[in-house]
């Protein structure tokens, strides 16, 4: 499939996990891809692994910094002039009981996951072509209560709501806005949040399809939502979780 030939896609947090897999998928489908992250060495590594230097631009930008986002949009404007799709993917998790969450934890999660997503989109809008698409990476935790994930889950509920409101707001320009809710996906974030050896088997047992998801499963869904194949879909959340939120665990 070559649904993205000559199109430009911004992917925040493209140095690993779902962002990286989506960059690879969209490059395979012909796109020009801008990937971001906070760390130059990780950006260099991602660029070299993506192996399409003429169609890849890596920009160091912390999504929580409006100065960085302004710099990012200037770089994209110089490189390609416009943007066809945005995958607002960068996110962080702080997973502990609410009584142990500090103000610094709260601010960090909200700054990256909510403020960062909002301003990634708002700052990209002047560059976005009419008829473009925005996909926000939310989480299955917006659909379920998970005791160690109160602020994280609330940040993801907030960005799903953004998909609804911005979907309506930007409809006159033909710009569609949707969110995705990945389940347990085998990435660096998952491994850091679940360091104990039994976690993968325990989590896989909660999933009707019987395994963790792979970043490529998410990339395929993002490519669909970002493409014209989804041209009548906006303001929605697509759950990609092997059945996790749709079932009663262990029943
Ligand atoms: N894995 C799961 O089970 C799961 C489930 C549901 C939702 N999610 C969501 O999926 C998204 C991607 O996570 P992942 O699982 O693919 O984990 P990952 O491999 O750790 O990727 C996270 C990406 O976000 C970037 N990032 C983090 N903070 C950033 C910031 N302030 N500014 C710019 N980039 C930043 C990281 O880049 P650098 O570290 O290089 O800066 C990295 O590229 C997140 O929004 C996460 O909440 C994950």
Tens digits of residue pLDDT in 57-106? 999 999 999 999 999 999 999 999 999 999 999 999 999 999 999 999 99
- List, as one string, the DSSP characters of 103-147: HHHHHHHHIIIIIHHHHHHHHHGGGEEEEEEEEEE--GGGTS--T
Would you say the pTM of this structure is higher than 0.95? yes
Spacing, Cα 187 to ligand 1 middle (Å): 9
Instruction: Tell me which of 12, 18, 121, 245 to substitute to probe ligand 1's pocket, judged by most ligand atoms within 8 Å of the beta carbon.
Output: 18
47 contact partners, CB below 8 Å, separation of at least 6: 35, 53, 56, 58
For a ligand 1 pocket test, name from 14, 15, 17 the mutation site with the most ligand atoms within 8 angstroms of its C-beta.
17
Q: Is the pLDDT at 179 greater than 90, yes or no?
A: yes
Which residues have C-beta atoms less than 6 Å from ligand 1?
12-19, 36-39, 42, 62-64, 89-93, 112, 116, 137, 139-140, 182, 184-185, 187-190
Give CA–CA dist 149/153, Å, rounded. 6
Q: Which residues pair with 88 in a beta bridge?
A: 136
Q: 78 CA distance to ligand 1 centroid (A)?
A: 26
* Secondary structure (3-state) at 48: helix
User: Has 232 been annotated as catalytic?
Assistant: no
| Strand arrangement, sheet containing 128-137 | 56-60, 32-37, 8-11, 83-88, 128-137, 176-182, 237-240
Question: Which atom of ligand 1 is nearest the CA belonging to 18?
Answer: 16
Atom number of ligand 1 nearest to Cα 184: 3
Q: Which 3-state string (H, E, C) describes 227-241?
A: CHHHCCCCCCEEEEC
CA–CA–CA angle 202, 92, 238 (5° rounding): 70
Q: What pLDDT band is residue 250 in, cutting at 50, 70 and 90?
A: low
Whole-number Å distance, alpha carbon 195 to ligand 1 midpoint, is 17
Nearest atom within ligand 1 for CA of residue 137: 45
Mean pLDDT, the chain, rounded, equals 97
> What's the CATH architecture for 8-240?
3-Layer(aba) Sandwich (3.40)
Q: Would you tell me how many other CB atoms lie within 10 Å of the CB of residue 222?
A: 28
Residue 52 backbone phi and psi in degrees, to 5:
-145, 65
CA of 13 to the centre of ligand 1 (A): 6
pLDDT tens-place string over residues 105-117: 999 999 999 999 9
List 9's β-bridge partners, or say none: 33, 85
CA atoms within 13 A on the CB side of 162: 24
pLDDT digits (tens, 9 = 90+) for 129-164: 999 999 999 999 999 999 999 999 999 999 999 999
């Amino acid at each position: 499939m070559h649904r993205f030939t000559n199109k430009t896609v911004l992917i925040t947090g493209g140095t690993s996990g779902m962002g990286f897999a989506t960059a690879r998928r969209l490059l395979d489908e012909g796109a020009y891809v801008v990937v971001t992250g906070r760390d130059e060495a990780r950006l260099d590594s991602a660029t070299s692994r993506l192996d399409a230097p003429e169609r890849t631009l890596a920009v160091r930008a912390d999504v929580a910094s409006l100065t960085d986002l302004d710099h990012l949009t200037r770089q994209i404007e110089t490189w390609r002039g416009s943007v066809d799709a945005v995958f607002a993917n960068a996110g962080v998790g702080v997973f502990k009981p609410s009584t142990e969450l500090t103000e610094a934890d709260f601010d960090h999660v909200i700054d990256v996951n909510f403020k960062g997503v909002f301003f990634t989109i708002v700052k990209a809008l002047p560059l976005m072509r009419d008829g473009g698409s925005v996909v926000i990476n939310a989480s299955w935790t917006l659909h379920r209560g998970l005791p160690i994930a109160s602020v994280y889950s609330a940040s993801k509920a907030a960005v799903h709501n953004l998909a609804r409101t911005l979907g309506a707001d930007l409809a006159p320009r033909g710009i569609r806005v949707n969110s995705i809710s990945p389940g347990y996906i085998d990435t660096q974030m998952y491994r850091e949040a679940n360091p104990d050896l039994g976690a993968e088997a325990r989590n896989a047992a909660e999933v009707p399809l019987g395994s963790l998801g792979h970043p490529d499963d998410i990339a395929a869904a993002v490519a669909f939502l970002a493409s014209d194949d989804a041209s009548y879909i906006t303001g929605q959340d697509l759950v990609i979780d092997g059945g996790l939120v749709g079932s009663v665990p262990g029943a």
